[in-house]
Structure 1
Amino acid sequence: MMKTNAGLFFEDYCVGQVIDHAVPRTVGGGERALYHALYPARHALYSSDSFAQSCGLPQSPLDDLIAFHVVFGKTVPDISLNAVANLGYAEARWLRPVYPGDTLRARSTVIGLKQNSSGKTGVVWVRSEGFNQADEMVISFVRWVMVRKRDEAAPAPQTVVPELEKAVLASELIVPDGLSFAGYDTGLAGSSYLYSDYNIGEVIDHVDGVTLSEAEHMMATRLWQNTAKVHFDATARPDGARLIYGGHVISMARALSFNGLG
């Protein structure tokens, strides 16, 4: 009897399929410390309880992308363990803050399928949602991923490509309860620029840069319990190279944007 998990392949999915992902995770200060060690993140709201309290929150929430990474990591064994590559994201919304001590779990719904012309792989679209211990949704996003087929002779499913919004409308964004910037301290925040200082079409060169390393990207990927083979096993790709988890790059870019968008 086989006791290991080989993951799902393209022909294992069907539109409308709902997957409740295993291993909920309680997050805390450890995740915050490691996040700030891996990325040059220094936003005051996510670094200081007293600063967050001055903005109307009970304490400093964990960086929003920690919630994304944890929920994403939960989905990997069921969605992208046999992925060739993650292709994109859409309709991402952070619905409520995540605080130290919260426990996150994840659920995904398959919303689209399209076999590639090679017959060896297909694209799977899923809407993934993260919930806290009170069953409150904290994050929702769509992603699409190219997944290997187990049997290339397996018939292709009916093609369903979901229609996704090009942008999330401002009316669909949720501001956390109590959040107020009436007493916002730009000195403590590290940037004097506010909403009125920015213009449509303005280009900001954030000037800083970080050279990615094998050790750091694999440590980050393990931190989020992302088990996709292409991030660790150099034999999982024809080019013999490990693929850096896209979320690692997103967090790095977000952190580097502080210089100009503090």
Structure 2
Amino acid sequence: MHSNTGKIALVTGATRGIGLHTVRQLAEAGVHVLLAGRDRDRADAATAALRAEGLSVEAIALDVTDADSIDAAVRTVEARHGRLDILVNNAGIMIDDVALPPSRQSLETWRRTFDTNLFGLVAVTQAFLPLLREATAGRIVNVSSILGSVTLHAQPGSPIYDFKVPAYNVSKSAVNAWTVQLAYELRDTPIKVNTIHPGYVKTDMNAGQGELEVPDGARTSVRMALIGPDGPSGSYVHLDQALPW
């Protein structure tokens, strides 16, 4: 396996949950990781805990819904490192009212969900793409969900057929579609972009109602962040299993 020493990664939404464990596992693999969060104090605290374990982690403030915050983060990374090898777009929210059917979710819920889960992800990617192009072989990992699978949502009896949280689900379908568009644009470059399902993980987002422990939920992101030149681009996977769009 190729060495990861010297690689620079940035993980959004990384102060807790899957994002925090993605930072930990990348750092354990030898990567220098920028732990990004909206709340600088929380990012600093999470970073201090990891650094106390001897891991190479650096805190950075980044609100994916704030253009000025994104620009400031890009300038910081450029000044300190001059490039970015890995971008893990992990930040996301689920704010649907599960007691309401799809047609009754508020437009405000849709807008806020898309602002973070799709538009924020696209904005961060666009902003960091020049620094990813400076890397030898950039990697972009978009954290989606099996709930973004239109195929499985339309298939009676599928594992997600009865789980209609529409703003969240459709935002993740859009992330998947964006991944395919970007992978096409970058097809003749060394940059690879993939979308992943972390698994049904016990997180704050679902009040701990999951099957996997949080560290296991980070494994797919880390795997796709560290793929070699023969790895896929434009794929939608959980661990090494391809998922239906």
Q: TM-score, normalised by structure 1?
A: 0.27
Q: Which has the higher contact order (CA 8 A, sep 6+)?
A: 1
Structure with the largest fraction of strand: 1
Structure with the largest fraction of helix: 2
Q: TM-score, normalised by structure 2?
A: 0.28
Q: State the structure with more CA Rg.
A: 1
